[in-house]
Structure 1
């Protein structure tokens, strides 16, 4: 019989988060050698990761970490909400955030290559995926720089970590209004800051569609230009932050609220898990 005790099994399970049967089998195979058992379990987990590579990840969390010069937001994805609220998954997100804080990473590839512990963020995620038994991936990341930041993290369920995250980079002194803008973004999901930021090709495509719709509705030819411009204006109110009706007072636009608060929005980002 292999030379190990129940305390060895317990310690190894706490260290790796592995199941009772897998842990005991690994210790038997390793003849009680703890470090060899760790290697066996990690190799088994790595094989499991390969099998899970094609699975979809629609759950997870959004996290934000601030450094002296920027704010980084990322989405860490998993397969089920059961894992999303698991302490080990949340601890993994904290470790990733700590690694990324001062890394300067602006892409997923750069973030995965960032040193973390004795390896990289990629190896850290791979190891924990093996422990958790699900596919885990760093799906996206954004890094914003500015004078000030408003951060808003929203939980769609009280027993889950944040599912929606917003970061607003701004200039000005009204932090309360800036935070309310971040909350507005979490709800309204604008794609661009202003109408000038909407790609011309996207505007022209929208113009073509609404003109076709207006013609099919039998609108008078003479009235078409005005109708089309009105509908294009409505499109801008959907996609451009400063054009949108303010969530707290729909008689005001976000642009008006920002101007009255003497703020300048330099950029923003919004992540929603699985979206």
Structure 2
């Protein structure tokens, strides 16, 4: 019997599907940002449902079970509150979702921490995306900048990691990630973030570039956390919903950490 491939491996034949899937997902995401309003809310809602399904598929071994019902209910309620602009209520629903998830997990004899993390892990970045897009002055521009920064981080990390190589960043979690890749991703995020900020009319594009670098570095922590979770549960991909990429957790792991960080940066006074 042939040995199983490492958890982080990808077959060469996946490349074409990965490119096509990436193009389609990128186009759908940018269209949602452009049209905004109900289109963007619907897109975020569908992605949130997929993320909850994948999370419970991994941690609860049951994509649509009691835990998923609770998680979907509280995530949907929080996003509905966010869509109505009532973000304090959305945060309260997230806290309630954490408590309900922990109680359910204990009643079922499951590990409470994984169930408790589900609602904030999905709802917080989705709410952050809504909050950024709803900005009256520069909502679309802010989301374009954030997405471009994350895409640049991923691309820069991949190119630098493959061409330079060198010491591994976290070999026990993600053997292919290197320090060169991390640095390359941050440099790419700074450059692309500044250029996109300038292109979409955000003020002080150089400052946006620097923030892009910080957010890009933080997004790599999200990537490593998702890898660590999959290794803990012995799972290669979060699902097969995206051909060539696995699942939405695999594809959006960096953005799930980056979106709240970007929202906090804007709250802290990053000029739009």
TM-score (norm 2): 0.30
Larger radius of gyration: 1
Higher relative strand content: 1
Higher relative helix content: 2
TM-score (norm 1): 0.30
